[in-house]
Structure 1
């Protein structure tokens, strides 16, 4: 998912930066509001960012010869809503580009749009849709897995737009990139969904009151309807 430094044509890199920027700015404001309203949430905010940093820094070889990694953004989207993750995810990508060489500064906008914008919104949408029907565990599984897959599908589209197939254009390139990134990501997305179930259960046991205040679950571990 980390598109490497200089890999995208300059016009594409600039366009994705422009598209991602409003979400990131709005997310920064959302983080400030969250901290002012609930100062006690700072630790959980930091943990959500660290969770994304650690998971998305793990590179696992895929069957196609590329590499894959979890994203972790679904959990933060459920806890703090997608706008917050737009900012946290971008900060994570910036540090990874500077410290780990994952991604890059010129491709930061494209990577942020896929991991920090699309992934969290898709994951949060699944959380809201699945939770009333199947409960908290199924909902967090769906949110984590969907955020993961949506990130890689978005990256595939970004690459297809930048490098269309010589014979079949953008559609042909999209099929190729999806087969490289999205299909091989399915098992990892399932694993990430299962990890999300475990992590949320741990948080419910050690930080129940905080989750209640955030509107995720109530004190009895049931999903709040207004979350």
Structure 2
């Protein structure tokens, strides 16, 4: 579930964002290398990003009056690797904050860490176990 805009502010928001930008930059480099080594997998990469984006737009009502949503990060990480799953999640979260008011820009870093790092790396590790 996205952390709503304004829940995390100030220095914690900046800290999360700085860490998320660093992790996303590492993932973007790995994504570029992946595309260079596997140009035939560009459609899979695009579908992974679209899958994460669309799946997280499906609301599931929660008992507290809020709603949650399914996460596509684990499947993208299983198919493409955890760093690429993280980067696709970061890109998806940015677009969702910009166009659908899901999450927000002040909480983007925290959302990347919880949904991207948590979803992609934990899903990938569980699959490998």
TM over 0.5: yes
- Structure with larger RCO (C-alpha < 8 A, sep 6+): 2
Q: Give the structure-1-normalised TM-score.
A: 0.55
1:198-217 to 2 correspondence within 5 Å? none
Residues 80-132 of structure 1: CA deviation (Å, up to 9, x unaligned) = 11111121110000100111111111111010111111211111111111xxx
Q: Between Structure 1 and Structure 2, how many residues are aligned?
A: 129
Residues 57-92 of structure 1: CA deviation (Å, up to 9, x unaligned) = 111211222211001111111111111112111000
Cα pair 1:60 1:68 within 8 Å, conserved: yes
Q: CA RMSD in A?
A: 1.0
1:180-219 to 2 correspondence within 5 Å? none
For structure 2, the residue ranges without an aligned partner over 5 or more in a row are none
Secondary structure of the 2:70 match is coil
The 10-residue stretch of structure 1 (53-62 or 89-98) with the greater mean CA deviation from structure 2: 53-62
Q: Give the structure-2-normalised TM-score.
A: 0.95
Which residue matches 1:68? Answer: 68
Over 4 Å off, 4+ runs: none
1:123-134 to 2 correspondence within 5 Å? 123-129=123-129
Which residue matches 1:31? Answer: 31
Cα pair 2:77 2:86 within 8 Å, conserved: no
Structure possessing the higher radius of gyration over alpha carbons: 1
